[in-house]
């Protein structure tokens, strides 16, 4: 890899262990990352958020119409998608890419969402913002609050559509975070993976078909989103996603001379070199522990949440389970008793809290007293071994 290109691949560990840890046996082996023309780029696992590749991913840049992912996310979260939205003069006169809606027409919020994400309509963005928040300014405030809540700290929005404006910026990493959050909503996934959609003007009941601007959907294997963006300041931008074998990756390329090629090479490299693994299944036991003074002699130990990791294809990971040798009754399932850690060099430690699978009640006092008394009797004592 050429470090002078300021490109970086985040290497994930290659270590083999048993359930309680062990020593690494070989280093991770990846084919060279693709050479990209994009000014900034990132490749992220959609499930875990793991970063597999980055190039200037935290640089503040003009996001152009990739902004509309946040607009769609907020509208979908707020619902009422069958509500009819009258098109205002402000929406009608919004410059740039357009859904070609006219003042006085009415569309459902769902149809405007389709026009926002497929046709990248700036007019649809303004109409949705006015409908959802009452004003564009208030809606933009919601966008910025939501960005902060997602951890997109290098992002500031000034409008809901992405036309260039001072103070309107994001980064490849932040846009991947926003895409990841939006893709958790089935409706968003359904719209952005569609090649076309039909929308209806509600007053005249005129129907028309719109088509996506995302060319990857027409030929890239597994492509299922997400959003294009282009302005003279931002250049050509793309957030692309693809799913293969039930594993989804998100690629972001900003200011690219070949956004389709850059995104395709990045996604292909990710699928060829990495794999997603589930190490823990929610509420499935991973260990047993003896219980002192309990009505049961043992209790199973479980995680309440599954744990997935992304590692170089064919490599193993090191895991460490931290648990006491024994537990003392009474035991409640909500009380944490330990942790399961995954140690991957170059990445933060992944951990899951561990809990008893079920409650264990305390034995009656008389039964505990009798057992202690028996332990004091001479015939219950073990003689030390003779030398």
**Shared domain check, 191 and 57:** yes
Q: What value, to the nearest 5°, has the Cα angle with vertex 126 and ends 209 and 192? A: 45
Of 216, 245, 273, the residue at which a domain comes to its end is 273
Whether residues 52 and 165 fall in one domain: yes
> Are 260 and 285 members of one domain?
no
Q: How far is CA 246 from the centre of its chain?
A: 14
Residue 334, pLDDT above cutoff 60:
yes
Query: Is residue 264 among the annotated active site residues?
Result: no
Q: What is the pLDDT of residues 125-151, one digit of tens each?
A: 999 999 999 999 999 999 999 999 999
Q: Decide if 21 is inside a domain.
A: no
Find the domain containing 355 and state its range: 281-378
Query: Is 336 in the same domain as 374?
Result: yes
**How many independent structural domains does the chain possess?**
2
Per-residue pLDDT tens for 39-94?
999 999 999 999 999 999 999 999 999 999 999 999 999 999 999 999 999 999 99
Mean pLDDT of the region 300-311 = 94
The one catalytic residue among 55, 65, 114, 194: 65
Total residue length of the chain = 387
Whether residues 258 and 159 fall in one domain: yes
Judge if 373 and 287 occupy the same domain.
yes
Question: Which listed residue (88, 97, 120, 171) is catalytic?
Answer: 120
- Claim to verify: residue 198 and residue 322 sit in the same structural domain: no
Q: What is the pTM of this model?
A: 0.85
Return the structure tokens found at 232: 């003279």
In order, the DSSP letters of 260-326 are HHHHHHHHHHHHHHEEEEEEE-TT---EEEEEETBSSSEEEEEESS-EEEEEETT---EEEEE--S-
Please state the three-class secondary structure of 38-73 as a single string. Answer: CCEEEEEECCCCCEEEEECCCCCECCHHHHHHHHHH
Per annotation, catalytic residue among 55, 68, 227, 363 = 68
Is residue 1 situated within a structural domain? Answer: no
Assess whether 289 and 148 both reside in one domain.
Answer: no
Q: Is 232 a catalytic residue?
A: no
For residues 224 and 296, membership in a common domain is answered with: no
25, part of any domain: no
Active site residue 363: no
What are the backbone angles phi and psi of residue 108, rounded to the nearest 5°? -70, 160
* Residue where a domain terminates, one of 273, 301, 322: 273
The answer as to whether 12 is a domain residue is no
53 closest CA partner among 37, 38, 34: 34
- Could you tell me if 141 and 216 lie in one domain? yes
CATH number at 364 reads 2.60.410.10
* Close Cβ partners of 53 (under 8 Å, ≥ 6 residues apart): 7, 8, 9, 10, 33, 41, 42, 43, 266, 269, 270
CATH number of the domain to which 80 belongs: 3.40.710.10
Residues 136 and 252 in one domain: yes
């Amino acid at each position: 890899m050429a470090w002078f290109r300021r490109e970086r691949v985040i290497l994930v560990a290659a270590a083999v262990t048993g359930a309680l840890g062990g020593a690494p046996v070989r280093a991770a082996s990846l084919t060279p990352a693709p050479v990209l023309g994009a000014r900034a780029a990132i490749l992220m696992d959609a499930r875990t958020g793991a970063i597999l590749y980055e190039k200037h991913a935290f640089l503040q840049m003009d996001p152009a119409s990739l902004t509309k992912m946040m607009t769609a996310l907020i509208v979908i979260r707020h619902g009422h998608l069958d509500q009819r939205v009258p098109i205002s003069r402000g929406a009608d006169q919004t410059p740039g890419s357009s859904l070609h809606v006219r003042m006085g027409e009415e569309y459902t919020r769902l149809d405007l969402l389709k026009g926002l994400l497929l046709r990248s309509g700036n007019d649809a963005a303004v109409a949705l913002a006015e409908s959802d928040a009452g004003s564009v300014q208030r809606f933009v405030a919601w966008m910025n609050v939501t960005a902060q809540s997602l951890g997109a700290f290098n992002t500031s929005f000034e409008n809901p559509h992405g036309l260039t404006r001072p103070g309107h910026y994001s980064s490849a990493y932040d846009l991947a975070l926003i895409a990841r959050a939006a893709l958790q909503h089935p409706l968003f996934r359904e719209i952005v993976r569609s090649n076309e959609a039909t929308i209806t003007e509600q007053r005249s009941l005129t129907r028309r078909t719109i088509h996506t601007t995302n060319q990857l959907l027409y030929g890239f294997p597994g492509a299922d989103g997400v959003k294009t963006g282009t302005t003279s300041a931002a250049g050509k931008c793309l957030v692309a996603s693809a799913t293969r074998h039930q594993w989804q990756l998100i690629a972001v390329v900003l200011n690219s001379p070949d956004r389709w090629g850059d995104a395709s090479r990045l996604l292909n490299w990710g699928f060829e070199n990495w794999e997603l693994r589930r190490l823990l299944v929610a509420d499935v036991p991973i260990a047993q522990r003896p219980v002192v003074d309990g009505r049961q002699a043992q209790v199973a130990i479980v995680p309440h949440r599954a744990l997935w990791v992304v590692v170089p294809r064919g490599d193993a990971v090191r895991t460490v389970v931290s648990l006491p040798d024994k537990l003392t009754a009474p035991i409640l399932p909500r009380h944490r008793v330990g942790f399961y850690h995954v140690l991957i060099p170059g990445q933060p430690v992944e951990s899951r809290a561990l809990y008893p699978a079920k409650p264990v009640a305390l034995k009656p006092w008389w039964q505990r007293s009798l057992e202690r008394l028996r332990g004091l009797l001479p015939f219950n004592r073990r003689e030390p071994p003779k030398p």
